[in-house]
Amino acid sequence: MSRPFPYTFISCPCADTPVPDPARKRRSRESPQKQSPQKPAPRPSTSEGEKKGTTANEQRDEDDEDEQTFDPRSPRSDFSLYPPEQLLYCEECHQIKCSRCITEEIVSWYCPSCLFETPSSMVRGDGNRCGRNCFNCPVCTAPLAVSTIENATGNGTQQGPWVLSCAYCLWTTLDIGIKFDKPTNIRSQLQKMTDATPPAAFDRSRQASRTLDSLKHPLSSSASVEEHGNARERERDIEHPAPKEDPTAPPMGADAQFAALKNFYRAQIAETSNSPNDHLSSDFGFSSPGALNRLMSLYTSSSRLGGLYGGNKKAKSKPPVMREALTASEGLQIAPKNGEADIIARLASPDCGWEGVASLDQRKAQAPNARFVGDLLPLPVLLRTKRAKRCKSCKHILVKPETKPQSTRFRIRLIALSYIPLPTLCPLAFSSSSALPSMAPTPDLDSLSPLRPIHVLLTLKNHMFDPVRITLATPPVTPGRVATKVTVLSPQFEIGANSDVWDEALQGASATSSGDSKSAGLGQRGVPEAGKVWDKGRNWTTVVLEVVPGTLPGSSAEGGDGNPETTDEDVVAVAASRKDEDVLEIPVFVHMDWDADAQLDQQNLGKASKADDKVTRELAYWMVLGVGRIQASL
């Protein structure tokens, strides 16, 4: 687990799929009594660990769904457990909502580096990268800073060439031979440099070496007028067989090539389209619904169904055929004749070496033909978004941040913590082994001794303005092969309302300090008793869980030799179950009900209305308490 012990996770009820409300209520009503009747039932002891997996499965199949206890170790539960602060709460559905039960809408785009908002029209037009001076290092992804390479003398304005430099790996644009004339608008400068100008000699020599005489493409036979130009170029290239520094064939940057191809195909579509209102040639491009229409008409025009899809009437006439790009200005790039060989030679050359080759991670962010470190260009920073969140089922807005990137406030924020009690866990000092009285003798949670009972304090803090009644239930023995016995000493209790904030502010200091001293005193002297809450505050209640950590299979404490996985269990299952098996996680079923103010739009208040305007609400969910890690031996 990524969090340090002790932690608490809450399971979003969406995991066990659309649980109908009545079923959930029934289950929650049963849960208090669940502890005793379940005791003799399913869990066999760890010594029969090898059979347990199958028996548990059978059990699960037999069991009614309501009888299941939550298993924090099952692979599915990974997807339903969330830290409490990540959960939302829908006031319409009266349910906890996790990131899987919501949909997101982008509120604004901003650059994470300069924190400027980018209008969505610009995002659509220019791509979702920062258009200012924000760049990431192509080598290590750290942000690049604009700095001058003039030896600054401190007097007056700094003139002179500017570079982007990485303060983390000390890469600069000088490494790829790029300098900037002014410190502003770097992105357009960079674009101009990489697209139009002949490149810095070293890094793009490979591209320059593409020889057009390798134009043995099948298309060349069907070439037309442009071919002459090509042919001439070809001859010239043959005359200069050392094209390493050839400036006559300026290579196109990837962006320019893309733009050229895009223009070319757009023109082609316009030329070959029959109907004037062809959607392919419109700005909406290929993804517009009209495009599908046209594609269908291409295929069906000759058939008798042609008319159905709006195909052209003169079905017999051959539709004009689109051709491919033929010249460099149209975006054609010919693979160099011996490009692969060149690359291999360069890879093998001593001045390249391992360091000179761009790694996969680096190449992923670059143009497709970047292969060496010298080909890497600074990366404009990707934009980030602020997103509003909606409930998937009722479309209610749950979270709506302010649009300004710098703002951390929310217009709407329905987090689960405002509705469900916030669980916090802390170990109670050993009552027996108070060897170190000066400090809190808390057990080391990363190495709990098996079979030695510990007490854990579970504090539930209510953030609602209504008092809440809580019922906790745990399986008597934790699921999994390490059978830890868990007892909630006082499973039913009440938490006070979260009264006015001003009360808290005014009496906060004295109240909390007195509460502290009380709990501190209890922590040293008190004895946990069954049926009694441990401590209670204005809007929080602490109860004690008695935990007897189980023994790990195969550990010395068990006394057996560790060979539990010899038999019929699937190897994969064994491996999966063994991982983090020593982590002690306790599933706790929380059922809460409270009397809320009835809302006018509330429909289902018929059965449970108490007072005039009060309605009893209930909510039930599983949570998982990560207590610690069990030691292998006693």
Partner 1 sequence: MPPPKTSKSEYIETDTGNKISRRSQIHGTQHIILGGKTVIQAEAVIRGDLFRGASTVDPNNPSTPPPSTPSVAINVGRYSYISKSAILRPPSRLHRGTHSFYPLKIGDHVFVGEGAVIEAAQLGNHVHVGKGAVVGSMAIIKDYAYVLDGAVVPPGMVVPSWCVVGGKPARIVGEVGEGYGVEGADGGLARERYRVVGRP
Distance CA 421, CA 592 (A): 9
Q: Are strands 384-391 and 102-110 parallel, antiparallel or unpaired?
A: antiparallel
Q: What angle do CA 461, 464, 470 make, to 5 degrees?
A: 55
Among residues 163, 193, 252, 415, the one that binds partner 1 under rule CB under 8 A: 415
Q: Does residue number 118 form part of the binding site for partner 1 (CB under 8 A)?
A: no
Which region among 118-126, 244-252, 330-338, 399-407 touches partner 1 (by CB under 8 A)?
399-407
Q: Binding segment for partner 1 among 19-27, 165-173, 287-295, 547-555 (CB under 8 A)?
A: 165-173
> Which segment (69-77, 135-143, 278-286, 296-304) binds partner 1 by CB under 8 A?
135-143
Residue 85 in contact with partner 1, rule: CB under 8 A:
yes
d(CA 589, CA 624): 9
Maximum distance among all Cα pairs of the chain, rounded to whole angstroms:
98
In sequence order, the 6+-apart residues with CB closer than 8 A to the CB of 472 are: 458, 488, 491, 492, 543, 588, 589, 590, 591
Q: Which of 223, 292, 417, 548 binds partner 1 (CB under 8 A)?
A: 417
Which token pair is 94?
């009266």
Smaller CB separation from partner 1, 516 or 613: 516
86 binds partner 1 (CB under 8 A): yes
Counting contacts by CB under 8 A, is residue 345 touching partner 1? Answer: no
Number of residues that bind partner 1 (CB under 8 A): 46
Neighbours of 476 (CB within 10 A): 19
Q: Which of 29, 75, 168, 320 binds partner 1 (CB under 8 A)?
A: 168
Residue type, 529: E
Distance CA 118, CA 104 (A): 19
Instruction: Decide: is 439 part of the binding site for partner 1 (CB under 8 A).
Output: yes
Contact residue for partner 1 among 178, 186, 399, 624 (CB under 8 A): 399
When the beta carbons of 144 and 596 are compared against partner 1, the nearer one is 144
Nearest partner of 477 among 16, 35, 5, judged by Cα: 35
Q: If you search the block for the tokens 């300069």, which residue do you land on? A: 114
Please calculate the CA angle 57-62-68 and round it to the nearest 5 degrees.
Answer: 70
- Cβ 181 to partner 1 shortest distance, Å: 20
Report angle CA 178, 179, 181 to the nearest 5 degrees. 145
Instruction: Work out how close the CB of 603 gets to partner 1 at its nearest, in angstroms, rounded to a whole number.
Output: 28
Footprint on residues 593-622 left by partner 1 (CB under 8 A): none
Q: Within 13 A of 528's CA, how many CA atoms are on the CB side?
A: 23
Between 4 and 559, CB nearer to partner 1: 4
* Shortest CB 504 distance to partner 1, Å: 10
**Residue 503 engages partner 1 in binding (rule: CB under 8 A):** no
Tokens read off for 413: 């924020």
DSSP structure class, residue 522: H
- For partner 1, the closer CB: 88 or 457: 88
Q: Per rule CB under 8 A, is residue 410 in the interface with partner 1?
A: yes
**Binding of partner 1 by 458 (CB under 8 A):** no
Which range touches partner 1 (CB under 8 A), out of 173-181, 290-298, 405-413, 587-595?
405-413
Q: Which residues, numbered 361-390, are part of the site for partner 1 (CB under 8 A)?
A: 384, 389
Does 215 sit near partner 1 (CB under 8 A)?
no
Q: Which residues contact 521 (CB under 8 A, 6 or more apart)?
A: none
Q: How far is the CB of 4 from partner 1 (least distance, A)?
A: 10
Min dist. Cβ of residue 106 to partner 1 (A): 14
The answer to the question of residue 408 lying near partner 1 (CB under 8 A) is yes
The reply on whether position 1 binds partner 1 by CB under 8 A is no
* Residue 384 exposure: Cα atoms within 13 Å on the Cβ side: 11
CB of 243 or CB of 628, closer to partner 1: 628
Token digits of residue 314: 């003169």
Which residues pair with residue 9 across a beta bridge? 624
For residue 465, state whether it binds partner 1 (rule: CB under 8 A).
no
- Tell me the CA distances in angstroms from 205 to 147, 210, 332, 336, 369, one per residue in order: 27, 9, 18, 11, 12
Q: Which is nearer to partner 1, 53 or 84 (CB)?
A: 84
Distance CA 217, CA 211 (A): 13
**Residue 339 CA: distances (Å) to CA of 39, 105, 155, 342:** 73, 45, 50, 5
* Residue 87 found at the interface with partner 1 (CB under 8 A): yes
Q: How far is the CB of 439 from partner 1 (least distance, A)?
A: 6
Give me the residue label for tokens 């009496």: 507
Beta carbons within 8 Å of 2's beta carbon, 6+ residues apart: none
Candidate residues 103, 158, 433, 434; the one interacting with partner 1 per rule CB under 8 A: 158
Residue type, 378: P
Contact region for partner 1 (CB under 8 A) — 35-43, 147-155, 219-227, 323-331? Answer: 147-155
For partner 1, the binding residue among 1, 41, 152, 608 (CB under 8 A) is 152
Smaller CB separation from partner 1, 390 or 463 = 463
Q: How many CB atoms lie within 10 A of CB 270?
A: 13
Q: Which stretch binds partner 1 (CB under 8 A): 243-251, 282-290, 404-412, 559-567?
A: 404-412
Of 30 and 91, the one with the shorter C-beta distance to partner 1 is 91
Residue 229 makes contact with partner 1 by CB under 8 A: no
Q: CB nearer to partner 1: give 424 or 602.
A: 424
**DSSP state letter for 589:** E
CA angle 417, 418, 424 (to 5 degrees): 35
69 to each of 27, 150, 158, 262, 402, how far by Cα in Å?
11, 69, 70, 58, 41
Given the DSSP bridges, would you call strands 7-11 and 614-629 parallel, antiparallel or unpaired?
A: antiparallel
Site for partner 1 in 521-560 (CB under 8 A): none
Q: Which helix (H) or strand (E) holds 524?
A: helix 501-525
Q: State in angstroms the smallest separation of the CB of 20 from partner 1.
A: 28
Contacts to partner 1 by CB under 8 A: 82-88, 110, 112-115, 140-143, 145, 152-154, 158, 166-169, 384, 389, 399, 405-406, 408, 410, 413, 415-417, 422, 424, 436, 438-439, 461, 463, 512, 516, 520
